[in-house]
Amino acid sequence: MLNETASTSTTEPAFAVDNIHISDADLPEFRDMPFEDINELQLDHPGASDQEYRKRRDYIASLSKNFRETGVITDVDYNDEEQAIWRHVAGRLEEAHERRANKFYLTAKKDLGISNDRIPQLSEMNRRLNQLTNFRLAPIEGLVDTRAFLSWLSWRTMLSTQYIRHHSKPEYTPEPDIVHESIGHIPMFTNGDFADFSQFIGHGARVATDRQLDELGRLYWFTVEFGLIEEGDDVKAYGAGLLSSYGELEHAFGDEVERRPFDLEQVIAHDYTYSNMQPVLYVISSYAELKSATQKYIERIAK
């Protein structure tokens, strides 16, 4: 997920848009991540008045924050209550995925060792992801502004939270959590075309004007978060906002949603709201199509 913090445009030295080979040596120093206004827990969060939950969330967030100094992902010793939330949500989502998730995702989730039994550690998923598509995970303690978040995709790195939602509302979270990251986002980065497409968005974010950054935010929203894909005569979900929420997932296939063929120009001009379920979604024909359309668009704005 993204938040809506406005950013100013940056001036970046030239870089090759088609460079998809990122080695560890190419990465900026994590300690230089310019995150000064990472969102704290919001008042409408179901755990906002639960002091024990807040303390625990702050503790796990502090482990994520340490990553910037050490470059090492710290495993979280999730407690029984956290594991129970995971088992409940992951189990329910798996039932929905059998009908609604795209084929690639279902295999990728298994391949990453994500099971309903326990919360997966970022360190394990990061190792496998790195082997498969040279993508990386970097722990983060909360939502960051759009440009900073998307720019890290340029280094084939996804910022990922580690804490879990509040037990009172296991089906809902107003902020990303380990369920949203690992059940929603992470499996799709094991797809080469999807990983490259994500990196193109990151390239774009590094050079975009503020107006272009809004366009990139919309592209991200209607693909990475709420994307649908053709599968034979069927349509399936690949967006993390759908795959990590059974309410959103069922809604996406209902009669009240208009499912349009993906058209990049239309998508980048399509305003959306965070609060309501989406009335319009876009269906790609393949990840290769998504990658190619995005590459052309990024080459245009990076000129």
Site for Fe ion, rule CB under 5 A: 1, 240
Do 246 and 93 touch, CB atoms closer than 8 A?
yes
* Residue 158 near residue 186 (C-beta atoms within 8 A): yes
Annotation says 245 is catalytic = no
Q: Find the residue with minimal CB distance to Fe ion.
A: 1
Tell me the C-alpha distance between 39 and 140, whole Å. 11
- DSSP designation for 257: S
Which residue, 1 or 298, is less far from Fe ion as judged by CB? 1
Separation of CA 112 from chain center: 16
Task: Answer yes or no: 225 catalytic.
Answer: yes
Q: How far is the CB of 278 from Fe ion (least distance, A)?
A: 14
Q: What's the CA dihedral at 267, 273, 277, 282 to 10 degrees?
A: 0
Write down the least CB distance from residue 252 to Fe ion, Å: 15
Q: What DSSP element (H or E) covers 236?
A: strand 234-237
Q: How far is the CB of 161 from Fe ion (least distance, A)?
A: 10
From residue 270, alpha-carbon distances to 113, 186, 241, 275 in Å are: 36, 26, 17, 16
User: Which of these is catalytic: 141, 225, 245, 248?
Assistant: 225
CA dist 249 → 20, 32, 55, 144, 210 (Å): 31, 37, 31, 25, 31
Residue from 45, 166, 185, 203 carrying the catalytic annotation: 185
Give the residue with the Cβ less far from Fe ion, 207 or 243: 243
Please state the closest distance from residue 199 (CB atom) to Fe ion, in A: 17
The alpha carbon of residue 228 and the mean position of all alpha carbons in its chain are separated, in whole angstroms, by 15
Min dist. Cβ of residue 125 to Fe ion (A): 15
Nearer to Fe ion, 76 or 242 (CB): 242
Q: Which is nearer to Fe ion, 177 or 196 (CB)?
A: 177
Find the DSSP H helices in 51-141.
51-70, 80-100, 103-111, 122-133
Contact assessment for residue 73 and residue 126, using Cβ atoms and an 8 Å cutoff: yes
For residues 108 and 240, which CB has a smaller minimum distance to Fe ion in the complex? 240
The catalytically annotated residue of 64, 151, 244, 245 is 244
Which residues have a catalytic role annotated? 180, 185, 225, 244
